């Protein structure tokens, strides 16, 4: 393969990794705080719909983004109410959120826009266009490095850069701030946090809302950045791949980025390898599609390293007994 | 924190689910109302579409058949403290087993094919749940995550198998060859003309048998006791000499086998071939059914009927009231899961307080009432 093909595959990798990365970091906050979240998919889907619907109606990409994040935040609040305040089963709350999002987005979409669940196609004003980074055009002529800069690093939309910026920010928040320390503590030993006079409930709500914010961005990426409009079930299980990536990355931000890039690469490869032979063998695309899930299961089983989640994850905190 | 007395049994298994169901319907009604439609007319259309005549009711029962299996699958696992969220994948991949025995046996009478198809579906579906069970028992991987992953892996395998292996040459649609009429399960309409030519078939009887079987298994066998002990307190069951890992593996296999019966209904009972995505999220409906039915076969029967009616009624809804799509049913189902499963804590304490007012105060020397659901 020559450089152009490699670059275009990697370029697709970055694009395909972005929603995974946003959703993966989203899940990281929630799960690090001890709230399992299998509702990432639903929050993204709801956000994608909210963003596309508002962007289509107002013709304003920022209002669309705001709506997407708003929808995702309120979904998170609902999930928080169930899983934190009412001490309901966190997993079941996630299932309910996923189903609610799948049903409501299609139902309202058909009702509002009468296009079989699709939102109207967006104009260039109402979606995030690709940005050209400074000097990208000038450097495009420089062999290799210039090409990498102009082809691979430049020319993505805003949300892509936000996603990759969120990695160092998350690392900093998690490991270098008081909030991050408390967040990690509340996922490992909420009793200790409570004893120190810090509210477990408040911390978990904060975490869940950050999850909502990031899922909102991920959802908006689908409908008003990568695509131009919402389509039925457009997140297509990416929320679960993000969940897999989170486990694969052992709930750590930097490994999360590399895992999402790996899973994004597999996705890009799968698109590129449609019906091509490698060494005379046709690799079924389904095998590549299933690879992220298989890898995660293998890791979870402890055959390649060991993924151990936050200790207090999945259990609502009860102050007294 | 004041300890609340547990609810009377009838309130726990009947009143609470009904309140939660009513709430789910009210919220759905508000959604329908907010988009300018009449919720009562929608309800009427759903009820009419589900029970209006033999044709409608036949389809309701066909959907219920699937939901009984997936509901039981979730419930059996739940009694052992396991959350099998992989019913979809297990039901899907079981179709492979069913079609692989049904096609070679297609010219034999259906009553020979039926039991073999059941065994094949149970074996493949059970195997697909056994692996997550084994991983949970022996390697400590969380069964919820692995079953989610297995749903996706199953989907990938099935697309590959149907498109690349099972699809006969010259057929465009991604589906296997048809099963000859001899090997097809008779429809109930052949015996009860009222059902006309609807999809409800002999598999319904299998579903009813499974309900009874699960009831006996859970409450009247040694193994049922062991799995419930595990579900209540793994440390205690281990201390009592039971092998937790063995129970986990058996329970997951059983759960997957039950989910696999959906494939029997779909492949030899309705479609007579293997198509893509025939499970249509029945595995997830099973979660709602098990929650609603309180993991008890009787409850599951009624909950499966309810959801079967909702699905069939939802299909008719879009023809009666243009603009209201069948996704309304998915919303109702999600709200049922939300209210009965995740937000159960909303009404329980209030109800407990209410019942506490009428109940005689416990004697001081009596053992303290068990605190409300805490874990």
Confidence of residue A276 (pLDDT cuts 50, 70, 90): low
pLDDT tens digits, residue range A127-178? 888 888 877 777 777 777 887 887 788 888 899 999 999 999 999 999 999 9
Interface subset of B 229-258, CB within 8 angstroms of A: none
Residue appearing with tokens 């059941």 = B118
d(CA B293, CA B72): 10
CA atoms within 13 A on the CB side of A164: 14
Determine, yes or no, domain membership for A241: no
Determine, yes or no, domain membership for A267: no
To probe the interface with A, which of B35, B77, B160, B334 has the most A CB atoms within 10 Å?
B334
pLDDT tens digits, residue range A194-227? 999 999 999 999 999 999 999 999 999 999 998 8
pLDDT tens digits, residue range B181-222? 888 888 888 888 888 888 888 899 999 999 999 999 999 999
Interface subset of A 48-87, CB within 8 angstroms of B: 78, 81-83, 85-87
To probe the interface with B, which of A106, A290, A292, A302 has the most B CB atoms within 10 Å?
A290
Question: ipTM score here?
Answer: 0.88
Q: Which pLDDT score, from 0 to 100, does residue B363 have?
A: 52
Share of chain A above pLDDT 70, in %: 95
CA B114 distance to own-chain centroid? 21
Q: Does A93 touch chain B (CB under 8 A)?
A: yes
CA atoms within 13 A on the CB side of A111: 20
d(CA A96, CA A79): 9
Determine, yes or no, domain membership for A245: no
Q: In chain A, which residues have their Cβ closer than 8 Å to the Cβ of B374?
A: 318, 321
Residue B49 · residue B317 · CB < 8 Å: yes
Contacts of B305 (CB under 8 A, 6+ apart): B60, B64
pLDDT tens digits, residue range A52-71? 999 999 999 999 999 999 99
To probe the interface with B, which of A95, A98, A239, A320 has the most B CB atoms within 10 Å?
A95
- Which SS3 state, helix, strand or coil, does residue A294 take? helix
Residue B220 · residue B108 · CB < 8 Å: no
Determine, yes or no, domain membership for A154: yes
Determine, yes or no, domain membership for A255: no
Instruction: State the CB neighbour count (10 A cutoff) for residue B95.
Output: 34
Average pLDDT over residues B292-298: 91
Structure-token pair, residue B47: 């009820």
Q: Which pLDDT score, from 0 to 100, does residue B48 have?
A: 92
- Its CATH architecture, for the domain B9-350, is Orthogonal Bundle (1.10)
CA B102 distance to own-chain centroid? 24
pLDDT tens digits, residue range B37-78? 889 998 999 999 999 888 899 999 999 999 999 999 999 999
Domain interval for residue A44: 3-128+142-236
d(CA B308, CA A195): 49
d(CA A65, CA A168): 22
d(CA A99, CA B286): 13
- What is the full DSSP assignment across B67-82? HHHHHHHHHHHHHTT-
Three state DSSP letters for B131-198: HHHHHHHHHCCCHHHHHHHHHHHHHHHHHHHHHHHHCCCCCCCCECCCCCHHHCCCEHHHCCHHHCCC
Provide φ and ψ at A133, rounded to 5°: -70, 160
Chain A: closest CA distance from residue B160 (Å):
6
* Burial group, residue B36, by CB count within 10 angstroms (0-12, 13-18, 19+): exposed
């Amino acid at each position: 393969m020559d450089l152009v093909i490699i670059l275009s595959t990697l370029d697709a990798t970055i694009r395909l990794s972005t929603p995974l990365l946003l959703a993966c970091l989203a899940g990281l906050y929630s799960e690090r705080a001890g709230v399992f979240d299998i509702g990432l998919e639903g929050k993204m889907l709801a956000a994608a719909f909210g963003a596309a619907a508002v962007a289509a109606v107002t013709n304003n990409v920022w209002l669309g983004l705001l709506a997407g994040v708003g929808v995702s935040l309120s979904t998170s609040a609902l999930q928080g109410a169930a899983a934190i305040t009412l001490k309901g089963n966190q997993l079941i709350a996630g299932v309910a959120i996923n189903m609610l999002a799948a049903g409501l987005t299609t139902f309202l979409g058909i009702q509002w826009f009468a296009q079989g669940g699709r939102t109207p196609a967006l104009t260039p004003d109402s979606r995030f266009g690709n940005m050209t980074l400074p000097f990208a055009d000038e450097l495009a002529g420089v062999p290799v490095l210039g090409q990498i800069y102009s082809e691979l690093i430049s020319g993505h939309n805003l949300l892509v850069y936000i996603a990759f910026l969120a990695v160092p920010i998350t690392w900093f928040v998690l490991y270098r701030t008081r909030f991050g320390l408390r967040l990690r503590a509340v996922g490992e030993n909420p009793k200790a946090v409570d004893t120190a006079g810090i509210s477990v409930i408040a911390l978990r709500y904060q975490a869940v809302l950050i999850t909502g914010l990031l899922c909102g961005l991920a959802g908006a990426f689908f409908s008003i950045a990568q695509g131009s409009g919402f389509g039925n079930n457009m997140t297509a299980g990416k929320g679960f791949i993000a969940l897999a990536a989170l486990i694969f990355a052992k709930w750590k931000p930097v490994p999360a980025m590399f895992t999402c890039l790996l899973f994004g690469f597999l996705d890009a490869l799968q698109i590129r390898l449609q019906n091509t032979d490698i060494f005379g063998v046709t690799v079924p695309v389904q095998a590549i599609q299933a690879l992220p899930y298989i890898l995660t299961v293998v890791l979870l089983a402890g055959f390649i390293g060991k993924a151990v989640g936050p200790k207090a994850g999945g259990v609502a905190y009860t102050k007294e007994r | 924190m004041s300890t609340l007395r547990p609810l009377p049994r009838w309130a726990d298994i009947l009143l609470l689910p009904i309140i939660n169901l009513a709430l789910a319907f009210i919220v759905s009604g508000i959604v329908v109302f907010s988009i300018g439609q009449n919720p009562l007319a929608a309800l009427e259309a759903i009820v009419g579409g589900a029970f209006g005549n033999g044709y409608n009711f036949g389809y309701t029962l066909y959907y219920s058949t699937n939901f009984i299996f997936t509901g039981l699958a979730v419930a059996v696992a739940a009694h052992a403290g396991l959350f099998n969220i992989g019913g979809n994948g297990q039901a899907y991949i079981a179709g492979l087993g069913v079609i692989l025995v049904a096609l070679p046996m297609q010219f034999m009478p259906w009553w020979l094919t039926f039991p073999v198809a059941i065994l094949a579906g149970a074996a493949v579906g059970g195997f697909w749940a056994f692996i997550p069970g084994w991983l949970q028992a022996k390697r400590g991987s969380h069964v919820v995550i692995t079953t989610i992953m297995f749903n996706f892996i199953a989907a990938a395998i099935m697309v590959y198998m149907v498109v690349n292996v099972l699809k006969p040459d010259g057929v465009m649609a991604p589906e296997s060859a048809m099963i000859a009429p001899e090997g097809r399960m008779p429809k109930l309409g052949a015996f009860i003309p009222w059902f006309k030519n609807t999809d409800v078939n002999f598999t319904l009887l299998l579903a009813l048998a499974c309900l009874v079987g699960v009831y006996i298994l859970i409450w009247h066998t040694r193994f049922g006791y062991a799995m419930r002990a595990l579900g209540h307190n793994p440390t205690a069951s281990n201390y009592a000499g039971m092998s937790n890992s063995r129970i986990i593996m058996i329970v997951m296999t059983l759960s997957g086998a039950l989910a696999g019966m959906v494939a029997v209904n779909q492949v030899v009972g309705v479609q007579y071939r293997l198509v893509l995505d025939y499970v249509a999220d029945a595995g997830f409906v099973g979660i709602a059914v098990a929650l609603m039915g309180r993991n008890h076969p009787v409850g599951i029967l009624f909950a499966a009927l309810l959801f079967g009616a909702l699905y069939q009624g939802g299909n008719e809804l879009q023809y009666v009231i243009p603009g209201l799509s069948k996704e309304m049913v998915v919303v109702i189902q999600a709200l049922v899961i939300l209210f009965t499963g995740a937000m159960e804590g909303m009404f329980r304490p209030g109800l407990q307080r209410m019942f506490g007012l009428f109940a005689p105060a416990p004697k001081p020397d009596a053992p303290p009432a068990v605190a409300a659901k805490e874990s």
